[in-house]
Amino acid sequence: MDGDAASSATQVDRRDVLLALESSCDETAVAVVDRDRNVLANVVASQDELHRRWGGVVPEVASRAHVERVLPCLDDALKQSGKSLDDVAAVGVVTQPGLVGSLLVGLTAAKTIAWLLDVPLVAVNHIEAHLFACRWAADRDPFPAVGLVVSGGHTNLYDCRTTLDFELLGTTTDDAAGEAFDKAAAVLGLPYPGGPSLQKAALQGNPKAVRFPRTFLNNERLEFSFSGMKTSLLYAAQGQPGSQTPVPPLTPERVADLAASFQEAVVDVLVGKCEQALKATGRMALCVGGGVAANARLRERLEEMTARRKVALWISPREFCTDNAAMAAIAWDLLEAGRVSPLDVDVLPGLVRKR
């Protein structure tokens, strides 16, 4: 082998890691993952401080922040992993679903890197990536299984035959569970982000203090609805329009009781629908991912249900529950299956709905 050929072979051999990017909402994230799916670096830049004043994500603010943060995150990920761009075998990037401006920032960066390095570009589905993250809890491929993705933007149930073969069983007809937690926290005057604040307040409350509705809980449809729960909480906290009945003040004790009761109602529905899906599919494993999967009460109740049914439970590790780029390592599986994307691939921001 001559010198040029040897040099070329060495360069190809060095390309042993995946560079993954995630920017679907308000987290700018870059990860480096090797072929064995070991996470060498997982850098996440949160935007919580930017959106706190509005109590929710402002799309224009989010996309501008991604522009400012994507390259520093890339530099940090490479430094932490001990790798360089010369080691990158492929670039994975989340292209759906999410906020269009945010998605475009990550995709533009990924396209540029893939083009410069002349390596494959792999488009990743954000929701499927959340379930892929369960492999780090199972320490192996956890499928086939029922999959629940529960986050601020999604509450979806899947029949997961393989890593790359998901069938949507049902989704929310209105709000996602995470969005319901955020809005409930706002009603109760709890700080942003709402989900963690509501969980913290609930620790001091009585989950049986107020009986909130459990929409669809006893319905065979594998669907969710949380808008009725939010309305009930609003009336419990502030009173029903036109009612002459005085409403108790929102003391810290009452806030804790309302938070605990609301959390319990949401968890009841999530756990109940997972059990329904397990019965309907006959699967013997349940995978759970997404930001709300970090909720301690949800984890506790899922553990109780799956132990009773003698079903395996794989919940994404907490560091991979909220949006991150490591979960985009599903791109390795896509690459091995030949599912490579062209450089003119576009984003698909719309939410997933059952067909």
Which residue ranges make up the annotated binding site for substrate?
149-153, 182, 195, 295
Structure tokens at 170: 């049902």
Number of residues in the chain: 355
DSSP states of 101-146: HHHHHHHHHHHHHHHHHT--EEEEEHHHHHHHTTHHHHTS---SEE
257 CB contacts (<8 Å, ≥6 apart)? 205, 206, 209, 210
Residue type, 23: S
Please report, for the chain, how many H helices and E strands are present, in that order: 12, 10
Distance of CA 206 to the CA centre of its chain: 28
Do residues 242 and 131 touch, judged by C-beta distance below 8 A? Answer: no
- Residue 250, sorted as left (phi over 0), alpha (psi -120 to 50) or beta, turns out to be beta
Binding residues for Fe cation: 126, 130, 323
Binding residues: 126, 130, 149-153, 182, 195, 295, 323
